Structure 1
């Protein structure tokens, strides 16, 4: 067991605050968890996009935000379908997650090519991914153009979780 004298004390270590310098503005919060976001235009085929910029933006009502470039195929699918599903991949899905960020859904059915299973959603008209342990079903509530990306804000309408994880 450490005695009080052995425990680090920031005040006693040096007494000097490190000097800071102003650096170029940029996105310095990395790494972030990567999500596999599913989207679909009404009557269209579902697509999967890899999204690294995603996170909680509100707890009441529960809302998530995802940042998507307007040039991406999935951008208009989200707008048209007014919904998306944020799927949390496992380590076993690393290669599939990477591939979804490389291939465009304009030319490839990513579900078929990667052997993934569309999971019917309970609350939105966009499937999740059955192989992902968590799928957060979101209804599009707002979109905010920010520059290189648009922030899509979705209200979480339902969450599907692999049952064995809840034991």
Structure 2
């Protein structure tokens, strides 16, 4: 498989030197550099970040850079991380109030999302202009949006500066879900949640007059990973429980099981790829072999 190489640091240094920005966004075009930033940025489900300004005015900013992450004890819970340009009103509000709601919108709100992304004057509610309904929150002051399928109530716990942008890390303290979507999900065997509703994904910004192109999932089709590989009781488990399961299902022999545990222990004592190369190579080769074995 042939690949084409791009020195992205060099490309963006040139963009910066020539001030080739679109309102601060780095939208790398094929016609300029033979490269698109879409090979860096995957399509991400879109949502509104809702915040209040210092006067109590609601701002709803469409965002497509971020994701949910989980944290284990202590402070077990879900976190939501997203990025905002420093010029955006939502970013200014977040630095002041340290709380927001995250509202996932589906394809039936395509027009509303486009309207909310217009340069609406600061202090004027994008949700109101787009004819959307405020949904009262329980644990933060900022409302969600009733037309959105899922609304997360988030308290910001940390920020990080990123080249005139700000990365926000917030803890999800509450969530409201449209009842019909929730009941429909509970009746589906694989319980896809947001993966089973018609979310919109930002794919590209193209055209002589630049416009956003959304993508959509085929919500009726999903692919299950194989039950014949991995821990038979848990999603991930650990190396020992994984190997226990593989011997039970007949993928490895008892001798191979013992050898794998021995190699894993030896590798754990010294993970230097040069000093412990022989152990690393043997463990890698054996794992590669067993992972691709067919089991009847």
Q: TM-score, normalised by structure 1?
A: 0.82
Asked whether the equivalents of residues 58 and 123 of structure 2 are also in contact (C-alpha less than 8 Å), the reply is: no
Q: What are the within-5 Å matches in structure 2 for residues 69-84 of structure 1?
A: 69-84=85-100
1:15-44 CA deviation, whole Å, 9 max, x = no partner?
xxx133321435622322111111113551
Describe the shift of the 1:150–1:19 C-alpha distance in structure 2 as closer, same or farther (beyond 3 A): same
Whose relative contact order is higher, 1 or 2, with alpha carbons under 8 Å and at least 6 apart?
A: 1
Distance in 2, matches of 1:158 and 1:42, equals: 23
Structure 2 residue 70 is the aligned partner of structure 1 residue 58? yes
Q: Which runs of structure 2 are paired with 1:1-167 in the superposition (5 Å)? A: 18-25=1-8, 26=37, 28-41=40-53, 43-60=55-72, 61-106=77-122, 108-167=124-183
Distance 2:70 2:55 in 1: 30
The alpha-carbon deviation at position 80 of structure 1 amounts to 1.1
Q: How far apart, in 1, do the equivalents of 2:163 and 2:120 lie?
A: 22
Retained in 2: the 8 A contact 1:128–1:135? yes
Write the distance in 1 (CA, Å) between the matches of 2:121 and 2:154: 20
Mapped to 1, the partners of 2:142 and 2:123 lie a distance apart of 19
Number of residue equivalences: 150
Between Structure 1 and Structure 2, whose CA radius of gyration is higher? 2
| Native 8 Å contact 1:48 1:105 kept in 2 | no
Matches of 1:156 and 1:42, distance apart in 2: 22
Report the 3-state secondary structure (helix = DSSP H, G, I; strand = E; otherwise coil) of the residue aligned with 1:97: helix
Can you list the C-alpha shifts for 1:83-121, whole angstroms capped at 9, x where unaligned? 111101011111111222222350532122111111111
State the 1:149 CA deviation: 1.8
Task: Give unpaired runs (5+ residues) of structure 1.
Answer: 1-17
State the 1:48 CA deviation.
0.1
| 8 Å Cα contact 2:57/2:123 also seen in 1 | no
Q: CA RMSD in A?
A: 1.7
CA distance in 2, matches of 1:43, 1:108: 11
Distance across 2 between alignment mates of 1:104 and 1:38: 14
Give the distance between the partners of 1:112 and 1:102, measured in 2 at CA.
Answer: 13
Query: How far apart are the structure 1 equivalents of 2:120 and 2:81?
Result: 22
How far apart, CA to CA, are the structure 2 residues paired with 1:64 and 1:48? 17
* CA displacement, residues 112-140 of structure 1 (integer Å, 9 cap, x when unaligned): 21111111111111110011010011001
Q: Describe the shift of the 1:143–1:128 C-alpha distance in structure 2 as closer, same or farther (beyond 3 A).
A: same
Structure showing the higher helix proportion among its residues: 2
Indicate if the aligned counterparts of 1:47 and 1:105 stay in contact, CA closer than 8 A.
Answer: no
